[in-house]
Amino acid sequence: MTLSNLFNKIITPLQTPERYEKIGSYCLVVPFLISAVLYGYHILCIPLPIALIATAAMGFGIFKWKLHRLAMHNPLIIHLLCLALINFSLRPADYFNVPLTETEIVLVGFASFFFIIGACELFPAFLRRALSDETHPEHFWKCWLVSFVPCFTMFIFLSSETYFTNRDELQYTYWDFAPHFWFITLILSVAAAAMMCLMKEVWIRRTVCTITGFLVCVYAQYMFMNNDLPLVGVDDIEWDSMTGKGIVNAVIWVALFILPFLLARFTRKKNEKPEAVPKAILLLSGALGGIQLISLVIVAVTAKPPSVNSGVLRLSSNEQFVLSSKKNVITLILDAADQKLFEAARAEHPERFECMRDFTYYPNIAMEYDSTFLSIPSMLTAAKTTPTEDIQGWYSAICQDTPAQTFYKRLHDANYTVHAYGKFTYQSNYSPFYGMLDNLIVYDPGTFFLNTDALYASLRKLSAYRALPLLLKRFSEPPAEIGNEAITVKDHCIHQNYQFLDKLPFSLSESTNNYFTVQHLVGLHAFGSGTREENMDRCLKIIEEYIKQLKAFGVYDDALIIITADHGSHNQPVNMPIWYIKKPHDKGDQIQVCNSPISLSDYAATVLDVMGLLQSGDTEILGRPISAIPEDEQRTRLVFQRKNFSDPDDEKCATRGYLLGYYFTGDKDDLLKHEQNDPPDVILHTPHL
């Protein structure tokens, strides 16, 4: 007796009545396919285009093999098993720790319910088909190789290469995600090979050519066609402006996709029977897989040491939402808060700026570096040297230099507790600031928690982003921090705008110390927490709420408040940051404007000057405060950009990791003229921007 006959003999007495077959089959399969998209997109975090394509492929296979009709012949016990899984399926948000709205919870609940029912119903039908006489198990290993390589590419190679390339910036280890992706790769490739063995040979051939065509397209995309993309998490991506390039990219995909079909056709000898899995397809898949495997080994061997280590110092958020009952020096650094964007927002909604009527606005300000990791450390230390290739070494040097030591000594001598919050150093290592910042804690494995589901989802999105054609990338735009957002550090600083708003209100400290507080927030960056417009709205709410609560606690009048940015919009020729300042006891009916030519490098001297802490000789060390810089002064300043605006094809620019410095005298119009007409005056090689 064959296995097929034995299988049928066992289950036949318990099968569902035949009269329900036609209606029931469609009632089963259609919700299953719809739910598969929702289930994959919301729960498994698969990018929507891939979820749709995978679901379409499942639907084709189900109807092609008539599995929907076979499913209704399943024993009643299978249906009862499905019902027993309802409780699990209706709790996806709790089980998978996915933050969903109430509507999404209902949708995902039903999606999970129908997905699990459909999977349980269709599996015995699939098994019945596998045991029939129309299968081709002799092609399994060839089909497996063709299936394994693209799975290896999507799940292992792209995520692993990303990890090893950025290992010195990431806070998790390779083994935190690699076993999961290897397991997924093996399961999917074996399942795909098994399904192909159920097909007729002509369909096996078409399927392996299709899979290999996809592999060729993905390989070409991440190797050659992603070079013009902005940096993830650094540059804002204007997808609508890429439509033309996207169409060209799609045409290339079509041409590359049909290549394996042509290869299979023209490498076959005349009058030779077509093979189910052509040798040319096997060679092409094996070659691409081998190239990627060798590349991965090389990248892994040459990768920089990991950043996951004990003993480094991190910023604690224990008092991030605490105000001093005495004096407060508060600096809000809103990342990428370009003054052009703030001026446009004020022109459109002047009422949103009413809370800042006591402030003075300085439009003629110059940033130092178009990079958070360089700009804020330089600003907070009054650095007099430019960065080197050894960023950590530069941090240590500027923190130990006389300007930084002088600045923080003055603050501590005046009974200030000095706190800084945010993310503004490379590798999030704040050890160089020891003795200067008072909210440093030792980082060790017991101080952080890893959300593996969030890590897997982040890396899957990043792999899809690298692999998909240009027109579909917007559906899988990954988080900015390449998986670091899955790490929750104990007492971690609140950096996202929306999280900062959620944590309000403040409280008043019982300490008799004054507080010097720097808050670095995501600002106007359009990643991680919404669009630029949403973040502008949140920034204005944060400013308004901060001022409101300072007034509520009675500490507003004595406070020095500076609202600024580390840089303006990335890769723009005129990208100056905002600078608003309210000195203690300043009062006004509207925002005042001062056109003095100032710089972020004037920050330390200005703070000490306003708070009466500037001593004789400090200006020779720290520079002049902004109050000592007249509006008509022809001051020469230095600004470092990421791009050479006079030569967009400059190879230094294309390489990334170079900063191009421009000296200018006058205002931002003079800087613009210099940037667009002249080569850079200074070039710095800084691998980590």
- Judge whether residue 402 has pLDDT over 90: yes
- Judge whether residue 653 has pLDDT over 80: no
Residues 620 and 512 in one domain: yes
Burial class (CB in 10 A: 0-12, 13-18, 19+), 649: exposed
Crossing angle between the packed helical segments 178-196 and 158-165, to the nearest 10 degrees = 160
- Judge whether residue 298 has pLDDT over 90: yes
Task: Please state which of the ranges 47-61, 358-372, 613-627 shows the lowest mean pLDDT.
Answer: 47-61
Crossing angle between the packed helical segments 201-224 and 243-257, to the nearest 10 degrees = 140
Please give the pLDDT value at position 70: 58
Please give the pLDDT value at position 341: 93
The reply to whether 669 falls in a domain is no
Per-residue pLDDT of 458-475, as tens digits, reads: 888 889 889 989 888 877
Q: Where are the beta strands (DSSP E) in 600-657?
A: 636-641
Domain enclosing residue 329, as ranges? 315-423+493-632
The reply to whether 654 falls in a domain is no
> Could you give the C-alpha distances from 174 to 150, 420, 436, 449, 452, in angstroms and in order?
21, 31, 34, 16, 12
The reply to whether 616 falls in a domain is yes
Rounded average pLDDT over 472-499:
78
| Domain final residue, candidates 436, 462, 489 | 489
Residues 508 and 623 in one domain: yes
Per-residue pLDDT of 372-394, as tens digits, reads: 999 999 999 999 999 988 888 99
pLDDT band at 343 (very low <50, low <70, confident <90, very high): very high
- Do residues 382 and 407 touch, judged by C-beta distance below 8 A? yes
Please give the pLDDT value at position 86: 44
Q: Say what percent of the chain tops pLDDT 70.
A: 78
Helix ranges restricted to H, 449-531:
452-467, 497-503
pTM of the model: 0.70
- Judge whether residue 367 has pLDDT over 90: yes
Residues 288 and 388 in one domain: no
Tokens of 13: 């007495």
- We report the CATH number of the domain holding residue 606 as 3.40.720.10
- Judge whether residue 99 has pLDDT over 90: no
Residue among 293, 295, 311 at smallest CA distance from 303: 295
Residue among 621, 603, 607, 381 at smallest CA distance from 515: 607
- Judge whether residue 89 has pLDDT over 60: no
Q: Is pLDDT larger for residue 434 or for residue 197?
A: 434
Q: Say what percent of the chain tops pLDDT 90.
A: 49
The reply to whether 678 falls in a domain is no
Residues 458 and 525 in one domain: no
pLDDT band at 267 (very low <50, low <70, confident <90, very high): confident
Helix ranges restricted to H, 414-446:
none
> How far is 409 from 229, CA to CA, in rounded Å?
45
> How far is 121 from 124, CA to CA, in rounded Å?
7
Residues 75 and 116 in one domain: yes
Rounded average pLDDT over 80-85:
50
- Say if strands 598-599 and 365-366 run parallel, antiparallel, or are unpaired: parallel
The reply to whether 680 falls in a domain is no
- Judge whether residue 35 has pLDDT over 70: no
Please give the pLDDT value at position 243: 84
Per-residue pLDDT of 561-582, as tens digits, reads: 999 999 998 888 889 999 999 9
Residue among 297, 306, 368, 356 at smallest CA distance from 332: 356
Please give the pLDDT value at position 97: 41
Which of helix, strand or coil describes residue 521? strand
Computed over every residue of the chain, the mean pLDDT equals 83
Going by C-beta distance under 8 Å and a sequence separation of 6 or more, which residues neighbour residue 345? 352, 536, 540
Mean pLDDT comparison of 3-17, 102-116, 510-524, highest-scoring range: 510-524
Q: Is pLDDT larger for residue 689 or for residue 398?
A: 398
Q: Which residues pair with 598 in a beta bridge?
A: 365
pLDDT band at 632 (very low <50, low <70, confident <90, very high): very high
Residues 153 and 250 in one domain: yes
Tokens of 211: 């899979």
The reply to whether 641 falls in a domain is no
Tokens of 193: 């090979």
Please give the pLDDT value at position 39: 61
Cα dihedral sign, 19-20-21-23:
positive
The reply to whether 637 falls in a domain is no
Crossing angle between the packed helical segments 243-257 and 259-266, to the nearest 10 degrees = 20
Residues 560 and 621 in one domain: yes
Residues 246 and 160 in one domain: yes
What H or E segment, with its residue span, contains residue 404?
helix 402-413
Residues 248 and 210 in one domain: yes
Residues 453 and 575 in one domain: no
Mean pLDDT comparison of 41-45, 55-59, 493-497, 575-579, highest-scoring range: 575-579
Please give the pLDDT value at position 93: 39
Task: Please state which of the ranges 89-103, 330-344, 358-372 shows the lowest mean pLDDT.
Answer: 89-103
Please give the pLDDT value at position 106: 59
Residues 68 and 206 in one domain: no
Rounded average pLDDT over 7-22:
48
The reply to whether 682 falls in a domain is no
- Do residues 236 and 532 touch, judged by C-beta distance below 8 A? yes
Residues 481 and 527 in one domain: no
| Domain final residue, candidates 489, 513, 546 | 489
Please give the pLDDT value at position 491: 73
Structural domain count, the chain: 3
pLDDT band at 482 (very low <50, low <70, confident <90, very high): confident
Cα dihedral sign, 329-334-335-341:
negative
Per-residue pLDDT of 518-573, as tens digits, reads: 999 999 986 556 678 888 999 999 999 999 999 999 999 999 999 999 999 888 88
- Judge whether residue 630 has pLDDT over 60: yes
- Judge whether residue 361 has pLDDT over 90: yes
